[in-house]
């Protein structure tokens, strides 16, 4: 008898709780109201969040510009470590519910979440950076030809190296970062076949620490420097700042990524050794999308940014880089060749 | 049958309650020290929990954590510290997704196959640690931590498109391919979303856990071996076999913890499949004192903290507040359980002392009379 009562107690308790949890709330996600007079735009960040001096910060710069130039009210949301799709769905839902338009998922990890949320908010435009696998009427896929910018970095690296050894540090071994590697390696080899390239990835997914832990980047750069590398290109988000620090301290050339890292305050002590950065104009793509929504003509479908539209490129803000004319001429020639279609850059290594 | 003991129940509840209050106060202190409003984050979190979709999210997460915590608890009852639940869960989810995506079977069979594969893989992975412990005496703490890292590398290699993975066109993600619709588990559609079918199975497993541990010979042997291996051995229990069995069951349950999400939502294992579930499971098993009802409420609490804090940063508070609170809960739980245990022990001694004294008095009176 007692056995049954105890089992029932457990069952009744959990069932009652389950029901009360689901039934007590009256509010739901469909109560959203978007306000066209006070436009609001939102970013949902990728791993690392704001302050990574790189990918996420570039997106934030675009949002800031929209705030200043267009009077858009910004909103931001950061991910938690190790979260899954339901959390991303929730984040996007909350941002859309709060009346933000557009809602931009910074990074390919938001692909399935956007595919799920977008149909529920047909009047909201969703931006999806780095992914074209999920499409929809109110989804704008903002993608870049990272391999083209990286190719130019490869040309520059092959030109400035004295030890004939250059390094590539990838944050996390994902297809996206492999695009950076592929372009870089091809650029180096096309320029000088004899240059030895050290390729290293910091972590394997699902450990995304390779995008967020500068100490990993620092150790990897140290290893490549010890192996004789004198130019190191790191495509590793916040972890790349560690690589830049180590390289600059050894007085060797570092190549930055995503944002113009020469111009970043956090990296000011090392900036004279940042030869150039492979820029990926995430900030412009974010700004353009917000503007298009505000103008009433929201972007939709694939919006590709390549070398031709200066969506990717090499930054020239370090005066030391401008003085290396042999390098800049080679880079400019390669750029013209890519745009003209004479050079095809591979997207996989 | 044991008489219902009110004191014991009260003492049992006092531990977690004390821990929660302390953790809550300490978090407020942290907020005060950093110059924030010490109460507003909690109000925001409770307001957030009023949304039906957040409630569904919390409940589904509770299911996942419940399974992970059960896996840990089975080990705990046996005095085994299975830290490898996270690796077992990820590897199981990944391989189950691969198998699920590669074949098509009629509905229930397809789901059953995926679930079986997950259990087998989880059991296999934890079984390595169990085997090492029984044959070579390797501490399961060390081996399971290492197996976590090996699982990470193994998955990273297996998910490459050259091996078992698939890279959808235009995507920068790697997946295991989508499971055909026959392998999707129907959920309970409610306002605000869908409660995964497997979430309900997870709670049902809690009843099974209780029954097996408390009402079967196997459960008795397991608990006995956990209390004292040598004593259990003396009474005829094969302790080594129990270690291996407990490890296998723990791993099989760990393998199940990826199922709610895999069968109910993603239908594929990708680079963005959640990590760290197994570690949260340890917290929950500890907080719930390995008791199926306790674990349920602990899982609900942790999910509540996690999900309702997610949007705090939109109101100018760091969502890490909830992480701090979780950490503080764990510390306070350990401390308060010890305090409550000592208090209970003292009380028991007092009570026994009083009873003995009363008995002695009575005897004396009888003699005098």
Alpha-carbon gap, residue A166 to A88, rounded angstroms: 38
Instruction: Provide the pLDDT for residue A126.
Output: 95
What is the DSSP secondary-structure string of B311-341?
TGGGGTS-THHHHHHHHHHHHHHHHHHHHHH
Q: B251 lies in a domain? A: yes
- Tell me the CATH number for domain A35-144: 3.40.50.2300
Name the strand (E) or helix (H) holding B195.
strand B193-195
Instruction: Provide the pLDDT for residue B178.
Output: 92
The residues of chain A that CATH labels 3.40.50.2300 are: 35-144, 146-280+318-340
**Nearest CB to A176; choose among B172, B307, B310:** B172
Alpha-carbon gap, residue A159 to A155, rounded angstroms: 6
Q: Identify the CATH number of the domain in which residue B251 sits.
A: 1.10.3470
Among A78-92, B8-22, B224-238, which stretch is predicted with the lowest mean pLDDT? Answer: B8-22
Query: B260 is written with which tokens?
Result: 């709610």
pTM here is 0.83
Instruction: Provide the pLDDT for residue B339.
Output: 87
Instruction: Provide the pLDDT for residue B318.
Output: 82
Kindly report, residue by residue over B276-288, the tens digit of the pLDDT: 999 999 989 988 8
Question: Chain-wide mean pLDDT for chain A?
Answer: 85
Do the chains contact at A112 and B51, CB–CB below 8 Å? no
Residue B128 or B171, more confident: B128
Kindly report, residue by residue over A61-74, the tens digit of the pLDDT: 999 999 999 999 99
Residue A326 vs residues A148, A231, A331, A332, B185: alpha-carbon distances, Å? 20, 16, 9, 10, 62
Asked if A7 is an interface residue toward chain B (Cβ–Cβ < 8 A), one would say yes
Query: A315 is written with which tokens?
Result: 């930054």
Alpha-carbon gap, residue B53 to B56, rounded angstroms: 5
Query: What does the DSSP 8-state code read for residue B265?
Result: I
Checking if the pLDDT of B150 tops 80, the result is yes
Q: How many residues does chain A have?
A: 349
Checking if the pLDDT of A243 tops 80, the result is yes
User: 10-29 in B: which are within 8 Å (CB) of A?
Assistant: none
Kindly report, residue by residue over A247-298, the tens digit of the pLDDT: 999 999 999 988 888 888 888 888 889 999 998 889 899 999 999 999 989 9
User: 29-48 in A: which are within 8 Å (CB) of B?
Assistant: 29
Q: B255 lies in a domain? A: yes
Residue A186 — pLDDT band, cuts 50, 70, 90?
very high
Query: What does the DSSP 8-state code read for residue B216?
Result: S
Instruction: Provide the pLDDT for residue A237.
Output: 85
Asked if residue B64 lies in contact with residue B278, where contact means CB atoms within 8 angstroms, the answer is no
Q: Report the residue of chain A nearest B306, measured CA to CA.
A: A80
Instruction: Provide the pLDDT for residue A14.
Output: 43
Checking if the pLDDT of B71 tops 90, the result is yes
Asked if B172 is an interface residue toward chain A (Cβ–Cβ < 8 A), one would say yes
Residues of chain B contacting residue A80, judged by C-beta atoms under 8 Å apart: 306, 310, 319
What is A146-280+318-340's CATH topology? Answer: Rossmann fold (3.40.50)
Please provide residue A306's backbone torsions phi and psi, each rounded to the nearest 5 degrees. Answer: -120, -165
Alpha-carbon gap, residue A50 to A47, rounded angstroms: 9
Q: Report the residue of chain A nearest B64, measured CA to CA.
A: A84
Residue A3 — pLDDT band, cuts 50, 70, 90?
very low
Q: B264 lies in a domain? A: yes
Kindly report, residue by residue over B197-252, the tens digit of the pLDDT: 999 999 999 999 999 999 999 999 999 998 888 888 898 899 889 999 999 999 99
Residues of chain A contacting residue B319, judged by C-beta atoms under 8 Å apart: 78, 80
Kindly report, residue by residue over B294-318, the tens digit of the pLDDT: 999 999 999 999 998 887 877 888 8
Residue contacts between A and B (CB atoms, under 8 Å): 163
Kindly report, residue by residue over B227-241, the tens digit of the pLDDT: 888 888 898 899 889
SS3 per residue for chain A: CHHHHHHHHHHHHHHHHHHHHHHCCCECHHHCCCCCCCCEEEEECCCCCCCCCCHHHHHHHHHHHHHHHHCCEEEEECCCCCCCHHHHHHHHHHHHHCCCCCEEECCHHHHHHHHHHHHHCCCCCEEEECCCCCCCCCEEEEEECHHHHHHHHHHHHHHHCCCCEEEEEEEECCHHHHHHHHHHHHHHHHHCCCCEEEEEEEECCCCHHHHCCHHHHHHHHHHHHHCCCCEEEEECCCHHHHHHHHHHHCCCEEEEEECCHHHCHHHHHHHHHEEEEEEECHHHHHHHHHHHHHCCCCCCEEEEECCCCCCEEECCCCHHHHHCHHHHHHHHHHHHHHHHCCCCCCCCC
Residue A23 — pLDDT band, cuts 50, 70, 90?
very low
Checking if the pLDDT of B348 tops 90, the result is no
Among A10-24, B55-69, B141-155, which stretch is predicted with the lowest mean pLDDT? Answer: A10-24
- Give the mean model confidence (pLDDT) for residues A2-20: 43
Residue A103 — pLDDT band, cuts 50, 70, 90?
very high
- Give the mean model confidence (pLDDT) for residues B152-161: 91
In chain B, how many domains are there?
A: 1
Q: B328 lies in a domain? A: no
Checking if the pLDDT of A19 tops 80, the result is no
Instruction: Provide the pLDDT for residue A20.
Output: 41
Kindly report, residue by residue over B77-93, the tens digit of the pLDDT: 999 999 999 999 999 99
Question: Chain-wide mean pLDDT for chain B?
Answer: 90
Which residue range is the domain that position B265 belongs to? 55-305
A142: left (phi over 0), alpha (psi -120 to 50) or beta: beta
Checking if the pLDDT of B59 tops 90, the result is yes
Do the chains contact at A22 and B191, CB–CB below 8 Å? yes
């Amino acid at each position: 008898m007692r056995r049954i009562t105890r089992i029932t107690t457990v069952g009744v308790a959990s069932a009652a709780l389950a029901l009360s949890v689901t039934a007590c709330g009256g509010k739901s996600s469909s109560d959203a109201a978007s306000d066209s007079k006070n436009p609001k735009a939102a970013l949902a960040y990728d791993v690392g969040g704001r302050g990574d001096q790189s990918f996420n910060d570039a997106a934030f710069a675009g949002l800031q510009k929209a705030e200043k130039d267009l009077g858009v009210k910004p909103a931001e949301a950061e991910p938690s470590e190790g979260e899954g799709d339901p959390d991303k769905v929730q984040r996007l839902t909350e941002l859309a519910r709060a009346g933000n338009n557009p809602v931009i998922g910074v990074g390919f990890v938001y692909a399935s979440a956007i595919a799920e949320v977008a149909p529920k908010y047909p009047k909201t435009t969703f931006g999806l950076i780095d992914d074209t696998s999920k499409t929809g009427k109110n989804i704008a896929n903002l993608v870049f030809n990272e391999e083209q910018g990286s190719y130019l970095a490869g040309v520059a690296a092959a030109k400035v190296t004295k030890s004939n050894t250059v390094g590539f540090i990838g944050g996390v071994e994902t297809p996206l970062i492999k695009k950076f590697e592929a372009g870089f390696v091809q650029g180096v080899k096309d320029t000088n076949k004899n240059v030895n390239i050290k390729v290293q990835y910091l972590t394997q997914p699902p450990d995304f620490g390779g995008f967020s832990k500068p100490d990993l980047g620092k150790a990897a750069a140290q290893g490549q420097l010890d192996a004789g590398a004198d130019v190191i290109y790191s495509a590793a988000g916040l972890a790349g700042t560690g690589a830049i620090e180590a390289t600059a301290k050894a007085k060797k050339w570092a190549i930055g990524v995503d944002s113009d890292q020469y111009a970043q305050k956090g990296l000011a002590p090392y900036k004279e050794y940042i030869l150039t950065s492979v820029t990926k104009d995430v900030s412009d793509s974010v700004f353009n999308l917000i503007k298009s929504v505000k103008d009433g003509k929201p972007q939709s479908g694939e919006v590709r940014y390549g070398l031709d539209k200066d969506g990717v490129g090499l930054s020239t803000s370090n005066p030391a880089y401008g003085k290396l004319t042999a390098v800049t001429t080679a880079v400019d020639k390669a750029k013209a060749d890519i745009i003209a279609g004479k050079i095809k850059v591979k997207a996989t290594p | 049958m044991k008489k219902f003991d009110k004191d014991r129940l009260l003492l049992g509840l006092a531990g977690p309650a004390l821990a929660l209050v302390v953790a809550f106060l300490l978090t407020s202190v942290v907020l005060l020290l950093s110059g924030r409003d010490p109460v507003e984050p909690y109000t925001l979190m409770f307001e957030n929990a009023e949304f039906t979709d957040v409630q569904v999210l919390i409940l589904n997460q509770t299911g996942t954590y419940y399974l992970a915590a059960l896996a840990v608890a089975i080990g705990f009852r046996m005095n085994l510290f299975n830290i490898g639940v996270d690796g077992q869960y990820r590897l199981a989810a990944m391989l189950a997704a691969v198998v699920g995506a590669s074949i098509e079977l009629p509905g229930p069979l397809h789901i059953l196959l995926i679930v079986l594969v997950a259990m087998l893989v989880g059991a296999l992975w934890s079984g390595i640690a169990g085997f090492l412990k029984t044959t070579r005496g390797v501490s399961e703490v060390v081996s399971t931590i290492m197996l976590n890292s090996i699982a990470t590398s193994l998955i990273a290699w297996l998910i490459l498109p050259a091996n078992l993975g698939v890279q959808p066109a235009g995507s920068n993600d790697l997946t295991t391919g989508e499971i055909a619709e026959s392998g999707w588990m129907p959920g309970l559609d409610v306002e605000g979303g869908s409660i995964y079918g497997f979430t309900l199975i997870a709670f049902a497993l809690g009843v099974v856990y209780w029954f097996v541990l408390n009402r079967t010979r196997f459960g008795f042997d397991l608990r006995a071996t956990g209390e004292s291996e040598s004593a259990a051995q003396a009474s005829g229990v094969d302790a080594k076999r129990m270690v291996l069995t407990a490890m296998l069951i723990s791993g099989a349950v760990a393998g199940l913890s990826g199922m709610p999400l895999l069968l109910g939502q993603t239908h594929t294992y990708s680079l963005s499949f959640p990590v760290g579930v197994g570690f949260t499971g340890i917290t929950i098993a500890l907080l719930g004192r390995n008791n199926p009802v306790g674990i349920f409420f602990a899982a609900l609490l942790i999910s509540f903290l996690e999900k309702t804090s997610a949007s705090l940063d939109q109101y100018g508070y760091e969502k890490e507040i909830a992480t701090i609170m979780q950490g503080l809960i764990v510390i306070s739980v350990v401390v308060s359980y010890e305090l409550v245990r000592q208090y209970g022990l003292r009380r028991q001694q007092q009570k026994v002392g009083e009873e003995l004294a009363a008995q002695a008095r009575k005897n004396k009176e009888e003699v005098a009379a």
